[in-house]
Structure formats: C-alpha cells, structure tokens
Amino acid sequence: MHKFITLLALLPFMVLANENSLTCYVVGVSDGDTLSCFDAENRKTEKIRLRGIDAPEAKQPFGQRSKQSLSSLAHDQAATVKWSKRDRWGRIIGAVWVEPVDCHGCGHTLDVGRAQLSVGMAWWFRRYANEQPDEERQQYKFEEREAKARRVGLWQEMKPVPPWEWRKR
C-alpha cells in the first residue's frame, strides 16, 4: 500500500518529466487560449490549448480582445511547445514559447500563456494547476495576482465571470 501511495504522489512529476517538445509555426488563433501550429517536420497542423490558462469565450466581455492579444503575441511566429498530454478533442495541452517582438535574436523566451495572464486577458486555470511544472504554476499565479492588482484587461470589470462559469450558463 505504501508503494502505491508513493507512486501516486510522484505521478505528476513523472508526467512532467516526460514532457515533449514541438517546434512549429503559429498559423492561426482560435481564441485567447487556443492556437494552430504547423509542424513542418510531420507536415501537419496541430491545435494547441495553452496549459494553465482559460481565456474569455468569444461572446464574453474581453473575448475578442483576448484573441487579439494572443494573435499579437504569437501569430505568424515560430514557436516551441512544451507538452505532455492531449485533451479529449485531440488538442495538445502545452506551454507555447515564442521570440518576443521587441527582442530579435533572443530565441523562444516568451511564454504566451504567462503573457496573456500579465495583461489580464485570461484567468489562471487553477483546476489544472497540478498539471503544470511547479515553477510555471508559481509564475502564473503571480501574473494573475499582479494583473488583478493593476486592474488591467478583464480585471477592469467589477466582477468578471470566469469562462468555466460562463460555459455552464
């Protein structure tokens, strides 16, 4: 029994240790937390759902602004995707890294999910926080807290409705 409990405790770390890396080119943005990336090596386009965030739905306040924000960060950019799972629709769930627009030659150093949080265009998706590496989880938590404190993006609203509640309605 003790070995089983130890195995369960280590499972999240084992999954993250087996993280895959995909190099691709961002060819489309569906909304503030989903994009399409062309994988030239395998000659296919993959849907990528950004790990750790949930952005407003299209008809929700800030839905279109969130999509525009992600587009300005990632569309028409080479990207590196760090991932370890797919969702039930076959989308890759991962962190997407691109070169910052203002830092040519820096490489893929901008985490677009974290950037979306920092400008108030998404919520940190606590429900799936255990699927994030610890450092990423702490950074995302911090960025959401700072965006709230600065009242930027969707945090300008008195009581912004999280997308998981919006979808239930």
Quick check: is 151 catalytic? no
Pinpoint the alpha helices (H) of the chain: 2-17, 63-74, 112-118, 134-150, 163-168
Of 46, 51, 91, 143, the active-site residue reads 91
CA angle 57-63-67, nearest 5°?
Answer: 105
Quick check: is 145 catalytic? no
Residue with tokens 């985490």: 111
Quick check: is 114 catalytic? no
> Could you tell me whether strands 92-98 and 44-50 are parallel, antiparallel, or unpaired per DSSP bridges?
parallel
Of 19, 43, 46, 49, the active-site residue reads 49
Of 19, 57, 131, 146, the active-site residue reads 57
**3-class DSSP state of 156:** helix
Tell which residue, 10, 139, 28, has the closest CA to residue 91. Answer: 28
List the structure tokens of 38.
Answer: 């062309």
Residue with tokens 């965006």: 147
Active site residues: 49, 57, 91
